[in-house]
A and B are shown apart, each in its own frame.
Chain A
Amino acid sequence: MNKTTKSNFITYGMVIAAYVIMQILVGTGSVSSLLKGLLVPLCIYVVLALSLNLTVGIMGELSLGHAGFMCVGAFSSAVFSVVTVDTITNVAVRFTLAIIIGAIVAAIFGIILGIPVLRLRGDYLAIVTLAFGEIVKNFINVVYLGIDKNGFHFSMKDSVSLNMEEGSKVIINGAQGITGTPKNATFTIGIVIILISLFVILNLINSRSGRAIMAIRDNRIAAESVGINITKYKLMAFTISASIAGVAGVLYAHNLSTLTALPKNFGYNMSIMILVFVVLGGIGNMRGSIIAAVLLTLLPELLRGLNDYRMLIYAIVLIVMMLFNWSPKAREFRDKYSLKRLFSKKNAQKEEA
């Protein structure tokens, strides 16, 4: 077993171990309702962090609009679920279809954005994705979509102008968003999606295409000179990343009974939040992303005891963690006093004796 395979299996094992431990704890009733409620959000943020790490770490481009892809996936799947909640009664089938729809719609938007932008050099992807996220959020806030026996009605003015007949159902009600999405997302499904995302991403990295993508990241000119189709490989990575973010959106939509496109959940701040997970966990390091996403989602909830100082302390902890992980002095310090080294030193001494 080579080193990469071993590392990959550690990552899978970590996720599965976390799942088993949590299931046992939930089964014995020793988990607080807060933590139980947090299990699905944790999965959502882990998937998002993995997805963005593919763009930032492996492809080497900055995306500031991952919340936008999440939003697209969330709304498309929620519309599907609300429409079919009475017709498709098998939850497993309906939710699987919802996940697939969310992934496909987000992937389509990824391709639409990627085709023109990924041909360019420089930070254009960051600029375009930033705009995309804001456009999606604002667009959804003015969309009114309803259904009656004549089919779908669409308006961008208000729900009155949908002109619907009796017995109709307003699905997207402008700024009020979608209400009544069935709560189908569970911890088990979340973990399965994490494992699938991991499998897709890790296999992509270790494949021929993945090596091409990383070659482009490391030296574009050299990659071009050996005949790698730059746009194709970049588009491939970006589309996969977008569709995984879309799946995270599907989980998000099916975890709460209300779905609105607020700056708080689908805005710029959310995109930056995901980027923080990636940067803190280590760019290009999937296992790090998982750990960072879990820690940073748990932290503000665990700090609730501090009341008014909660968000202040959270910010300080974030800065300290960032410094500890990435400042050159801190790394020097860590290397000097790391456990690994301490053990190897002891071993060395033993051998001498």
Chain B
Amino acid sequence: MKKALSFILALSMVVSLTACGNAATSDSAAEGTEAAATTEAADGTTFKIGGIGPVTGGAAVYGLAVKNGAQIAIDEINAAGGVNGAQLEFNFQDDEHDAEKSVNAYNTLKDWNMQMLMGTVTSTPCIAVAQESNNDQIFQLTPSGSSVPCVQYDNAFRICFSDPNQGLKSAQYIGENGLASKVAVIYDSSDVYSSGIYEKFVEESKNQNIEVVAAEAFTADSKTDFTVQLQKAKDAGAELVFLPIYYSEAALILAQANTMGFAPQFFGCDGLDGILTVENFDTKLAENVMLLTPFAADATDDLTKKFVETYKSKFNETPNQFAADAYDAIYTIKAALEEAKATPDMNAQDLCEVLKTAMTTITIDGLTGEGMSWTADGEVNKAPKAVKIVNGVYTAM
């Protein structure tokens, strides 16, 4: 009796789990089969684009956003007749935010005869995969791998800013606009993104006559109490606190600064995008916070509006910057393919050759920037948009 009961319990658990999974994924699954049905054709008649990113585990939110954003772009392009008359086929593989699994995913895609790679989403796996794709000479465009070595080879390009670039741009922005002369930095030393921005910021601050009066670190294991760091910043007389971190910690910092009566200016990077959607966070605290971000979901231009609408109707959530990066990545690949007059019967190595040159000549107006262009070293040129939160919405500065 007991055994039967436990068996039934276990069974019901499995069923409920699958049901949960179903609700969330039925949309994308349905699309996947649709896309497969319309583009099912022999090799050589479609462009095969592979994608890699974490769709399970702790970083799944980024991978899912990229997967969904890219899928929207693929569907749009296919509905409009494809690229150079050929349809696009998209295959997204999970890497669990692990370098080793990422290489496995890459090899899986190679078995699928992938012709170019849109990925990977996170930096560490991206470095490992870039090594492999360079060996095989497969064109790689990462939407969001921001650390420097991600694009160290000539076959790799990226859509987002590199980490040091963000630090550089932030310091320049603060210096050129005379926002403050005494700056405190609070950053996550255990995070590649955060420490990458921080180091370049400190380096550039010397050229901009900014004095970094306090540089306080925290780690992933101690990211709930920031009073010590804030107190040091306050004692050092900081006029501006630079936060090159993600929004969930930034929300805590803003709340704790408010409690202790410390009211400097706050300045952040694209990681702060999303701070207005934190649950139980008083958005008044984020008033006058400035951030450099390539994408704001509530921007009013037509492209963003259309993308956000489609994304919301398909996936029931507001797209973040990662989704926008992926959307732009797919359109960038499209533009590069058109520029190179590529045909789907070319093999990956030939495509890589022509795309490498095409990438440096194209210019794209995308969700994450206008007039994006690329240099041969893989870095993107686009102007960062600085926004200020006024009355609970992003306002251009």
Contacts and interface: CB of A to CB of B under 8 A. Distances in A.
Interface stretch (B187-195, B262-270, B371-379): B187-195
Nearest to B3: A329
B149 A180 contact: yes
Counting contact residues on chain B (CB < 8 A from A), the size range is: 35 or more
A83 interface: no
A256 B203 CA distance: 30
B78 interface: no
Nearest to A316: B14
A138 B218 CA distance: 12
B249 to A, nearest CB: 15
A311 B55 CA distance: 11
B127 interface: yes
A264 B97 contact: yes
B21 A141 contact: no
Contacts of B190: 138, 141-142, 174-175
A33 B110 contact: yes
Given A32-B111, A34-B107, A179-B149, A309 B18 contact: yes
A160 interface: yes
B93 A159 contact: no
B279 interface: no
A256 B147 contact: no
Contacts of B103: 37, 256
Interface string B96-111: 1111100111111011
A109 B139 CA distance: 43
Pick from B99, B108, B131 the residue with the most CB of A within 10 Å. Answer: B99
B98 A265 contact: yes
B128 A264 contact: no
Pick from B57, B195, B198 the residue with the most CB of A within 10 Å. Answer: B195
Given A34-B104, A304-B93, A308-B21, A256 B191 contact: no
Interface string A243-264: 0000000001001111010101
B147 A175 contact: no
A11 interface: no
B221 A138 contact: yes
B84 interface: no
30 contacts: A33-B107, A37-B104, A37-B132, A138-B219, A141-B190, A142-B190, A157-B217, A158-B217, A160-B202, A174-B189, A174-B195, A176-B192, A176-B195, A179-B149, A183-B131, A252-B100, A255-B100, A257-B127, A258-B131, A258-B149, A262-B97, A262-B124, A264-B57, A304-B93, A304-B108, A308-B25, A308-B29, A308-B55, A310-B56, A312-B17
Interface of A: 32-34, 36-38, 41, 138, 141-142, 157-160, 174-177, 179-180, 183, 252, 255-258, 260, 262, 264-265, 301, 304, 307-312, 316
**Ranked 9 nearest A-B pairs via Cβ:** A37-B107, A257-B131, A258-B127, A34-B107, A33-B107, A33-B110, A32-B111, A256-B128, A264-B98
